[in-house]
Amino acid sequence: MQNAADAAATAAASNNGSSYVLEAKAVAAQYGYVDGSNNVTVTASNTAACPTGGTNDCYSVTITSIVPLYLSQVLGFTGDVTVNGSQQKLVSSTAIAKNATIQTPICLLALDQTGGDAIRTNGAPNSDLSGCTVMSNSDSDCNGSDLEAAWGLAAGTNTGCGINQRSTVPVVPDPYAAMAANIPPDPCGGVYDGRSVDDGLQLTAGVKTWPIVANPDNIVKYCGDVVLPGDVTIQTPDDQTGATLVIYNGRLDVDGHKLLVDSGSGLTVVFSGDNTGSYRHYPDDSGHGGVFDISSPKGSSAPFPGMAIYQDPAVTHNVDFDFRGNNPQWFMSGGVYLPNANPRVRGDVSPATNGEDCFVLVANTVRFDGTMNLYQQTPDGSGCQLQGLDQPLATIDDRGHLVF
């Protein structure tokens, strides 16, 4: 009976849902203790006091049964209940278990909570997100492949995403919205013609070195589209604070060229502005064959720690774009934050030449059209720790364990 109570309590805690009572009774029945049959009672609670103290959220299961007495009566033990004129004994066993949770770092988070599939694949048979956990704050639907993601999680219903699949996972809050407070005010005066302001760095071809005398905070501001005229290598004083490039009402268009963050350097590209006109706010490659090779700042003192690309959450207009993998190529170490965007993804992401094994994409929704391969992530998040990025965490119910 004690074994049955132990197993039933563990099952109820692992269930951790509205059907925990049914779960407990079903497991007890497997041990021969069927509630309501043969004087057996199985009761379960999810508000039991935890023996470790402090909370009343443990799961308890108590099994009681009335058993007949035979030879013990010869010894003078007459039991404590009478059933149909026969002396019998009431026996009882209780077990208490606690639900366990684990937290797993996320490398793909879809923030949308309005319903529908915030993560969707339309045929992705060769996609490989090994070591990555994907999380949708609504539903998710993976057609043709589980993406080989270590975990596929959804606050709603998860259909086919991840090697390990879970639904009804708690919503993950927007992890990076607070960084928007570090975006400088728009200095452009309503004119967005592609110029730098405050005597900022001119992104002409060649090696470009921070700091700039006029910008001791290592923030360069551009008004309107930034189009590279040739390959550009960014050098900053260190890879801890790094440097920040803020583009107001414009794209960063590599135009078939390469933007490289040099060894020992770090860069965040920020897209900000207003929601008027036809201004676009994202990385682009109108010349085809270009490369973004960006390693983020790694220190907590940076304005956007761990962030390679950051879209201002206040910008909601013209933020969507397609990532095709070779137009441009992405060599990215750090976070890519697109809170209002709905990118369509097909292609590969590789680590930055001078970065760690860390890539985190946060968007409103994400759609995979074809194959995406993401370089191997470290499931424990150690790569992003080295890159200076605090990864979002999902909370997953794990198997319950006995505490009494």
Domain boundaries, the chain: 2-102, 106-399
**Above 80 in pLDDT, residue 141?**
yes
pLDDT at 180: 98
Lowest mean pLDDT among 40-49, 129-138, 180-189, 203-212: 203-212
For position 124, what pLDDT does the model report?
63
Q: What is the pLDDT of residue 216?
A: 66
Q: How far apart are CA 209 and CA 206, in angstroms?
A: 10
What are the pLDDT digits (tens) for 303-330? Answer: 999 999 999 999 999 999 988 766 789 9
pTM: 0.81
Above pLDDT 90, what percent of the chain? 67
